[in-house]
Structure 1
Amino acid sequence: MTETVQLALDEIKPLCEKVLRHNGYGEAHVSAIAHMLYTCQLDDCQSHGLFRLLMCIDTMRNGKIDGNAEPVIAPSSNAIVKADACNAMSLLAVEKALPELINKARQHGIAALAINNCYHFSALWPEVERLASEGLAAMAMVPSHSWVAPAGGKRGSLGTNPIAFSWPRPGQNPFTFDFATSAFARGEIELYRRAGKPLPDGVAVDRDGKPTTDPQAAMDGAMLTFGGYKGSALSIMVELLAGPLIDDLTSLESMEHAAGLGGAPYHGEVILAFDLAQFNGARMEENDARAERLFSDIIDQGARLPSQRRYAARARNLERGYVEVSKQLHDDILKFLE
């Protein structure tokens, strides 16, 4: 059984901030990144919580990222907000640009945020849930590195290419999902490798294109999309909408940009926001009721809505005041302070 350590909730952000600051990130980025890591760890999202500190530091030590760059938000007269992260992590650009995206969505009914020239390591659900808290439905997409083979292929052409969506629900947590179009998240494979556990069948192939359950062979070979051709088509859609559409890199180009070094992928991100009030007009209550009837019908038959386990973990951790992380990960993080 994996040995764990308990971290009090009020210890998480200070630990993240200390590590990030010690390794070259400026204060604005320290705050934005630490907040994201805390948010994910609070919900027991192990692959995107404190574990992602390793990628943040690896990215900085590889020497390409700017840990102090201020994002630039371009003036806009239409429904598109453009934010240049200026070769920094994406989170500060998102933080600075979301208020304008919210304003544009309320003005036009629908709006888009294009974030360019960013390194990206984080989950997407905190971003779409932030928009849901404002009464907006939202979607977010990013490419990554070309770790994933298309359906019928045997080498990486696509990224893990996550899609996140959030729908506001009055008086309760929003309906939210955030999943990679790969059968497994890249971070999950790394966690399996660190734990010495075999992968499930059907998530990866080795360098020769043969199925493998060995995490290292999977990382040396290629991951697979979920759902065969359907997942592959969705992944290609993400490449296009979060790449050429917003004048940024595909996963193939992100991999080339890395030039064999580790760290976070370098590309863009697109976020779409929908103002339910403008779409619904005077029928908001009626359509909220339609949505709730759908959710209730799903739950009443014993099925689970996406994020229910995450919300339950959040409530549990808030009540007890701490989270649990692997001792190995905690030890690895503390080494970054040496």
Structure 2
Amino acid sequence: MPTLTLAAAHDLAVRTLLRCGAGHDQAESTAVALAGAEADGLATHGLMRLLAYGAQVRAGKVVGDATLAVTRPRPGLLAIDAGHGFAYPALDRAVAELPEIARSQGVAAAAIRRSHHCGAAGRPAEALAAQGLVALLFANAPAAMAPWGGNRAVFGTNPIAFACPLPGRPPIVVDLSLSKVARGNIIAAKQRGETIPEGWAVDADGHPTTDAAAALAGTMIPLGDAKGTALALMVELLAAGLVGARFAGEATSFLDAVGGPPGTGQLILVLDATAFAADACERFAVLAGMIEDQDGARLPGTKRLAARARAAQAGISLSDALLAEIEAL
């Protein structure tokens, strides 16, 4: 199994996307996100995504040379049209501009429309928290979950991410999908020819399945049953309805090159961590300490930070089969 440095993983992603027809800025931003996800141990949002991304650029489902259109509809708001390109350049722009707005207004928001797969949602939230902000990110995705009691997918797996700063150490980061597991885990199982545990998804007829292909053709089981679908509804309204993006049931798949652009959306809300209480970050640290003082308890994101540190030293492993598929694009 080949081992790549993080720099080599980044270069592989850039070369692949350029070869498929992406512009330099789109390729560079996307490569940073994919290599970063690999470093954090989130392989389902890493280099394996190049297979779908590359095919979509070639088919025009992703506009490979898209440029952002950015406006300020209100003093505290940033509106970003991703132009049916990859989501990552739009997310980068939000991370770059929201801190100054939040410091002057106390609170700020960025709405991203005509977007695409946002990848590991915790990464932009973490980048904002590293600049002294409390951040929430909502992203909708193509239909994969039915409403509770229904049998037709109308919600995406719709990730939610949260991050807040801690004094002198990395931020607290919460990043979760509203399905019982991220759909990327099923995609990865299908690519490896493996079964999935029962309880992750149902097939197109609504029957429990351990077949990854049947699961992808069916619907995902929500996190927390009815509560998960209620949260997924909330994300659809915030990340699509509010920002002018397509709802899950209107979006094409992130996984293939069929049809037009998905046109999904993201909403990022940020608050200056000191806007209400000057000692808020110190208070965040108090609660973090209450958690970490307990044997066996840890803050969310601890495993991700450990994986990142290992990857910086030892690189990342990529299967021969995946590397060959990427090189063949």
Which TM-score band applies after superposition, normalised by the shorter structure?
over 0.9
Q: Is the 8 A contact 1:258 1:265 kept in 2?
A: no
How far residue 177 of structure 1 moved from its aligned partner, in angstroms, is 1.4
The answer on 1:201 being equivalent to 2:198 is yes
The answer on 1:145 being equivalent to 2:142 is yes
Query: C-alpha distance in 1, partners of 2:140/2:200?
Result: 18
- Alignment-derived partner of residue 225 in structure 1: 222
The answer on 1:306 being equivalent to 2:312 is no
1:1-338 to structure 2, matched below 5 A, reads 4-255=1-252, 261=258, 265-280=262-277, 283-284=278-279, 287-301=280-294, 302-320=296-314, 322-336=315-329
How far residue 202 of structure 1 moved from its aligned partner, in angstroms, is 1.5
Deviates more, 1:249-258 or 1:43-52: 249-258
Q: Deviations over 1:224-278 (max 9, x none)?
A: 1110011111111000000111122110011399998179743111111110111
Paired amino acid for 1:308: T
Distance 1:25 1:177, change over 3 A: same
Indicate the percent of aligned positions where both proteins have the same amino acid: 36
How far residue 155 of structure 1 moved from its aligned partner, in angstroms, is 2.3
Unaligned runs of 5+ in 1: none
- RMSD of the alignment, in Å? 2.0
Query: C-alpha distance in 2, partners of 1:143/1:62?
Result: 22
Q: Runs of 4+ in structure 1 displaced over 3 angstroms?
A: 255-260, 262-265
Unaligned runs of 5+ in 2: none
SS in 2 for 1:137: strand
Deviates more, 1:55-64 or 1:124-133: 55-64
SS in 1 for 2:43: coil
Query: C-alpha distance in 1, partners of 2:67/2:245?
Result: 19
Distance 1:257 1:7, change over 3 A: closer
Query: C-alpha distance in 1, partners of 2:7/2:253?
Result: 39
Q: How many residues align?
A: 328
Query: C-alpha distance in 2, partners of 1:64/1:290?
Result: 46
SS in 1 for 2:220: strand
Distance 1:259 1:315, change over 3 A: closer
TM-score (norm 2): 0.94
SS in 1 for 2:112: strand
Distance 1:6 1:264, change over 3 A: farther
Q: Is the 8 A contact 1:124 1:178 kept in 2?
A: yes
Query: C-alpha distance in 1, partners of 2:201/2:245?
Result: 27
Distance 1:166 1:123, change over 3 A: same
How far residue 154 of structure 1 moved from its aligned partner, in angstroms, is 2.4
Query: C-alpha distance in 2, partners of 1:212/1:231?
Result: 20
SS in 2 for 1:106: helix
How far residue 52 of structure 1 moved from its aligned partner, in angstroms, is 1.3
Q: Deviations over 1:129-151 (max 9, x none)?
A: 11011000101111111111222
Query: C-alpha distance in 2, partners of 1:193/1:59?
Result: 19
Distance 1:161 1:150, change over 3 A: same
